C-alpha cells in the first residue's frame, strides 16, 4: 500500500463548478500537508500549505485536513479553464522538505 | 526575478550511457532538491544539497549522484542508464533547509532507449 493515495482522474467539470480533489494517507505521523498545481510541461507550484488539522482558505481555494480520517481535500470554487492542470497532494511528518511524500496527481480539466 | 532553470529540456540516451542534468536555483537560494517524476508514480525524492553538501538522498541506487557548486547550481548524474530511468527530472530550490516553499524548475525529460 502506498503511503499517499490519490485518484489519478482525469476529472472533467464545467466552468464555474466546485471541484473537490482528495488524498488519503496511511502514516498517522504526517503533520505537514501541501497541494501543488502542475501545468503541462511545467514544474509543480505550491498552492496551499497546512500544518496539522483544519481548514485554510486562499481566494477560490480551500484546503481541508482531517487527521482522524487520514484524508485531505482541496476545493476549488468557481472553477476556470485556467485551473486545468494536474494537482498533486504532498505530506510529511518532518519539517525537512527532503521528507515530503507526493501523491501521483489528479488530472483536472475545466470545460468552458 | 528569474525562476529555477534546468537544462537540457530533453535528453535522449541509450541504455548503459551516462546522463548529466543541470539546475540553477533562484538567486539567494542555497538548497537544491532533485526529484524523479515517472508516469503514474508522482514525485520521488532523489537528492538534497545545501551549502555544497549532500544532506539527504532518497531510495535510489548509487548510480544516481550529483553535486552542488559554490554558486549553488547543481548537477545530477545518472550512470549506467536503464530503461526505467526514463522520466521527468525536476529540480527545486528553497531559501531555507526547513519546510519553506520549494520552487520547481520546468524539468528535464530523460528518455532512455
Q: Using CB atoms within 10 A of its CB, is residue B28 exposed (0-12), middle (13-18) or buried (19+)?
A: exposed
Instruction: Give pLDDT, residue A86.
Output: 95
CB contact under 8 A, A97 and B42: no
CB contact under 8 A, A46 and B102: yes
How do the pLDDT tens digits run along chain A, 112 residues long?
Answer: 788 999 888 899 999 999 999 999 999 999 999 999 999 888 999 999 888 888 999 999 999 999 999 999 999 999 999 999 999 999 988 877 778 899 999 999 999 9
Cell 519546510 sits at which residue? B99
Q: Which residues on chain B place their C-beta less than 8 Å from a C-beta of chain A?
A: 4, 31, 33, 35, 40-45, 48, 55-56, 58, 90-92, 94, 97-107
How many CB atoms within 10 Å of residue A91?
A: 24
Percentage with pLDDT > 90 across chain B: 80
Chain segment B62-77, per-residue pLDDT in tens: 999 999 999 999 999 9
**Closest chain A residue to the Cα of B50, Cα to Cα:** A98
Cβ-Cβ contacts under 8 Å, B53 against chain A: none
CB contact under 8 A, A96 and B99: yes
Of A98, A99, A103, the CB nearest to B42: A103
Q: What is the DSSP string of B44-55?
A: EEEEEEETTEEE
User: In sequence order, what are the beta bridge partners of B37?
Assistant: B43, B88
How do the pLDDT tens digits run along chain B, 113 residues long?
Answer: 689 999 999 999 999 999 999 999 999 899 999 999 998 778 999 999 998 999 999 999 999 999 999 999 999 999 999 999 999 999 999 886 556 678 899 999 999 99
**Closest chain B residue to the Cα of A48, Cα to Cα:** B101
Instruction: Give pLDDT, residue B102.
Output: 84
Amino acid at each position: 500500500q502506498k503511503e499517499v493515495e490519490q485518484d489519478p482522474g482525469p476529472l472533467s467539470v464545467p466552468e464555474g463548478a466546485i471541484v473537490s480533489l482528495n488524498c488519503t494517507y496511511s502514516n498517522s505521523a504526517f503533520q505537514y500537508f501541501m497541494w501543488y498545481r502542475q501545468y503541462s510541461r511545467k514544474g509543480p507550484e505550491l498552492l496551499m500549505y497546512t500544518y496539522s488539522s483544519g481548514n485554510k482558505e486562499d481566494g477560490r481555494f480551500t484546503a481541508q485536513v482531517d487527521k482522524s480520517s487520514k484524508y485531505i481535500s482541496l476545493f476549488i470554487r468557481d472553477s476556470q479553464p485556467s485551473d486545468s492542470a494536474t494537482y498533486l497532494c504532498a505530506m510529511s511528518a518532518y519539517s525537512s522538505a527532503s521528507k515530503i511524500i507526493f501523491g501521483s496527481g489528479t488530472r483536472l480539466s475545466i470545460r468552458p | 526575478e528569474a525562476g529555477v532553470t534546468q537544462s537540457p529540456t530533453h535528453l535522449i540516451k541509450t541504455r548503459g550511457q551516462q546522463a548529466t542534468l543541470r539546475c540553477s536555483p533562484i538567486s539567494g537560494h542555497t538548497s537544491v532538491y532533485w526529484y524523479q517524476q515517472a508516469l503514474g508514480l508522482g514525485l520521488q525524492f532523489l537528492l538534497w544539497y545545501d551549502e555544497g553538501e549532500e544532506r539527504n538522498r532518497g531510495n535510489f541506487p548509487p548510480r544516481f549522484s550529483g553535486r552542488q557548486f559554490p554558486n549553488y547550481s547543481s548537477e545530477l548524474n545518472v550512470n549506467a542508464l536503464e530503461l526505467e530511468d526514463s522520466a521527468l527530472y525536476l529540480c527545486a530550490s528553497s531559501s531555507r533547509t526547513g519546510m519553506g516553499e520549494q520552487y520547481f524548475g520546468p524539468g528535464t525529460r530523460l528518455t532512455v532507449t
